A and B are shown apart, each in its own frame.
Chain A
Amino acid sequence: MKKIVQMFAIVFIASFAILFFIARLNASEGYSGDNTLTIYNWGEYIDPELIDRFEKETGIKVIYQTFDSNEAMMTKISQGGTTFDIAVPSEYAISKMKEEGLLIPIDHSKIPNLKYINPRFLNLSFDPGNKYSIPYFWGTVGILYNPEALGGKKIDSWNDLWDKDMKNQILLVDGAREVIGMGLNSLGYSLNDTNKDHLLEAKKKLDKLTPNVKAIVGDEIKMLMANEEAGAALVWSGDAADIMWENEKLDYVVPKEGSNLWFDNMVIPKTAKNIEGAHKFINFMLDPKVAAQNAEYVGYSTPNEKALEYLPKEISEDERFYPSPELTDKLEVYENLGKRMLSYYNDLFLEFKMHSK
C-alpha cells in the first residue's frame, strides 16, 4: 500500500515538474499570454501569408487553430480550458454566445478601420451596434447547378427545383434552416416565419420535392457537385465559389424570391488572454488591402467597401457573389427564433427527411 502511494506521489511530482518546465520554456521563447494570439477559425478561411505579415508587423506570435462547425466551436469555448483570443462564428452562433455570456465587448476606438465596412453589414439584429462582433465575410444561400447536365436549363427561382425534369437531380445541404427556409422562400414567406400554418405549408411543399431530391448531405456536397454527381444543389455561396473553382461548368444563382444572407464575424471570446492583441488583429484584417487579399484567397464576399476597389473587377462585379442592391434587399439574416421554435424547425426537417419518395 505504502509503495503505491509513493508511486502516485512520484508521478504527480514529475508531472508538475514537467508542466512547470514547459511553461518556463514557452516563456523564454516569448510564448506567454501577452505575446501570442490564438485564433480559432474555420478551415482554409484566411490567407496564411497575412498571418505571417501580422506577426512581422506586430511581433505577436499567432497560434492558428481551426473548427468545422459553430456547435463544435461553441462547445469548446464554453467548456473552458482553452485560450482562444479570436473566434469567427456565424451570426446565429454570435447571438447564442452573447446570451450565454461567452463574449467580450469590442472597443471600437481601437478599431479605426471599422469605417471601411459597408454600413449595410453593420448594426444587424444578431448584434445591435456591433458591440461584440465585427464582420469578416458574408454570403448567401442559393442554387449551384450544372446547365450542361440539365440540358441547358436556366435556374433563377426556387420553384425551378420542383420541375418534373429535375427528377433525382438535387442535393440538399443538411441544415434545417436552409431547407425549411427554401420552402418558405418559394412560397413568398419570410425565412424567419414563425407562423405554424406557413411552416406546415412549406413542409407540405417540400414533401412534393422528394422525388427530385437525390440526397441530403453535409460537406461531401462539394465533392459530389464537382464530380457532377447531381445537376443542382442547395449550397452556401462560399461553398459554391469553391466548387466552381474546381469545376468551371457549374453556375451559381441567388433565386429571385430572396434567400438567406449570412455572416461570419470576428469576436473576442471570454477565454481571451490577449485582448489588446485581438483588437490589433481585428483592425489589421479590416485594412482594405489586407481584406482584398484575403477575399481573393478565400473566395468569399468581403463586407469591406474600400477593399472592393483593390479586388479585380471580375470578382467585385460578379453579381452572383456581390448581388445587385435590388436582390440584396430581399435577402434576410437568420434571426434567433428561440429554442422552442428552432426545435419545431428541426422537427419539420426531420419529418421531411423521413418522407419517403
Chain B
Amino acid sequence: MKSNIRALYFLPYVLWILLFVVVPILLIIYYSFFNIEGTFSFENYEKFFTPVYLKMALSSFWYAFLITAFSLLIAYPTALLLTKTKHKQLWLLLIILPMWINLLLKAYAFLGIFGTYGIANHFLELIGVGAKQILFTDFSFVFVSVYIFVPFMILPIFNALEKLNPTLVDAAKDLGASPWITFRRVIFPLTLDGVKSGCQAVFIPALSLFMITRLIAGNRVITLGTAIEQHFLVTQNWGMGATIAVFLIIAMVIIMFLTGNRK
C-alpha cells in the first residue's frame, strides 16, 4: 500500500514529462519527415543542408555567441559589484524588475527610442555626432537582445558569488596575491558554475530568438527561430519548421553537454 501511494505521488511528474517533454519532441521528429504535400520523405533534411539554411544556422550561432559574450561582459562585473553593495536585495530587485515587463512591450519601446526621431538620435545630435540609422541594424539587434537577457546572466553569477566563502579571498590576500590574481585564480574558478548556467540561460534562447529579429532588426537578421516561426505560422510548411527545430534541439543538447558539470 505504501509503495502504491509513493508511486502515486510520482505520477504527476511522470505525466508532465511525458506529455510536455517527451511527446512534443517525438512529434517534432515525426513531423520533420513529412514534406509540404504531407508525404513521407527526407526532403526537409536535404533542404537543411543547402547553403541558405546552413548560412542561417551559422549566423544564428554567431549572433547568439555575440549576445552571450556581451551579456557576460556586462553581467560579471555587475554581479561582483552587487555582492559588495549595502542594499543587495534592493539592487537585485531593480535589476530583476524589467523582467516583469512583457518582452514585446520592451521591444516596442526600443522602436521608439532607436527611431529616426527617437531619444537616442536626439542625444546623438545634442553631443554633435548627428543622427544615425540605429534601428534595423546589427547593433540595435545585439543591444536589445543583451538588454533582455542580461538579468538571466546576472542572477546565477550573483548566486555563485554569494555562496563563495569570503575566507578564501582573505587567504589569497594574506598569501600575497594581487587583486587580479585573486580574481583569476580564486574567485572566477569558484564561480564558474554560475557563469556556465548563465551562458546556458542566454545562449540557448538567443539561438531561437524571433520577433526581435523582425521588430528591431527589420528581418535583416534571420535566425533559425525566425525561420521556424515563419514555417509554422505563415508558409504552413510544418515539416520544414520541425526539421529546423530538430537541429536546434540537437544544438542545445550539445551545448548543455559542453557547459554541463562533469563530475
Task: Indicate if the CB atoms of B117 and A214 lie closer than 8 Å.
Answer: no
Q: Does B233 sit within 8 A of A, measured CB to CB?
A: yes
Q: Does B8 sit within 8 A of A, measured CB to CB?
A: yes
List A contacts of B117 (CB < 8 A): 227-229
For the complex, count residues of B whose C-beta is within 8 A of A: 29
Q: CA separation between A87 and B130, bound complex, in Å?
A: 50
Q: Does B227 sit within 8 A of A, measured CB to CB?
A: yes
Q: Mark contacts of B103-142 with chain A using CB atoms, 8 A cut-off: 1 yes-contact digit, 0 otherwise.
A: 0000000010001110000000000000001011000000
Task: Indicate if the CB atoms of A342 and B218 lie closer than 8 Å.
Answer: no
Given A168-B133, A176-B235; A216-B8 close (CB under 8 Å): no
Inter-chain CB contacts under 8 Å: number: 74
Q: Does B230 sit within 8 A of A, measured CB to CB?
A: yes
Least distance between A307 CB and chain B CB atoms (Å)? 33
Q: Mark contacts of A325-351 with chain B using CB atoms, 8 A cut-off: 1 yes-contact digit, 0 otherwise.
A: 000000000000001101100110011
Task: Choose from A1, A176, A223 the contact partner of B8 (Cβ within 8 Å).
Answer: A1
Task: Indicate if the CB atoms of A342 and B111 lie closer than 8 Å.
Answer: no
Q: Does A10 sit within 8 A of B, measured CB to CB?
A: no
Those of A1-29 within 8 Å (CB) of chain B:
1, 4
Q: CA separation between A212 and B174, bound complex, in Å?
A: 63
Summarize B's interface: helix, strand, loop or mixed. Answer: loop
Task: Choose from B4, B55, B135, B217 the contact partner of A354 (Cβ within 8 Å).
Answer: B55
List A contacts of B237 (CB < 8 A): 343, 346
Q: Does A353 sit within 8 A of B, measured CB to CB?
A: yes
List A contacts of B230 (CB < 8 A): 346, 350
Task: Indicate if the CB atoms of A227 and B115 lie closer than 8 Å.
Answer: yes
Task: Choose from B218, B219, B236 the contact partner of A71 (Cβ within 8 Å).
Answer: B236
List B contacts of A339 (CB < 8 A): 36-37
Q: Does B52 sit within 8 A of A, measured CB to CB?
A: yes
Q: Does B5 sit within 8 A of A, measured CB to CB?
A: yes
Task: Choose from B4, B37, B52 the contact partner of A1 (Cβ within 8 Å).
Answer: B4
Task: Indicate if the CB atoms of A342 and B235 lie closer than 8 Å.
Answer: yes
Q: Does B185 sit within 8 A of A, measured CB to CB?
A: no
List B contacts of A217 (CB < 8 A): 214-215, 218-219
Q: Does A187 sit within 8 A of B, measured CB to CB?
A: no
Task: Indicate if the CB atoms of B52 and A229 lie closer than 8 Å.
Answer: no
Task: Indicate if the CB atoms of B116 and A229 lie closer than 8 Å.
Answer: yes
Q: Does A215 sit within 8 A of B, measured CB to CB?
A: yes
Task: Indicate if the CB atoms of B215 and A229 lie closer than 8 Å.
Answer: no
Q: CA separation between A180 and B233, bound complex, in Å?
A: 19
List B contacts of A350 (CB < 8 A): 52, 222, 227, 230
Q: Does A220 sit within 8 A of B, measured CB to CB?
A: yes
Q: Which residue of A lies closest to B232 (CB)?
A: A71
Q: CA separation between A342 and B8, bound complex, in Å?
A: 50
Task: Indicate if the CB atoms of B55 and A215 lie closer than 8 Å.
Answer: no
In the assembled complex, 6 residue pairs joining A and B whose CB atoms fall closer than 8 Å, in A order, are: A72-B233, A215-B136, A215-B219, A229-B117, A339-B36, A346-B235
**Minimum-distance CB pairs A-B, first 9:** A215-B218, A216-B219, A215-B136, A346-B235, A343-B36, A339-B36, A354-B222, A353-B219, A229-B116
- Residues on A facing B (Cβ under 8 Å): 1, 4, 69, 71-72, 168, 171, 174, 176, 214-218, 220, 223-224, 227-229, 339-340, 342-343, 346-347, 350-351, 353-354, 356-357
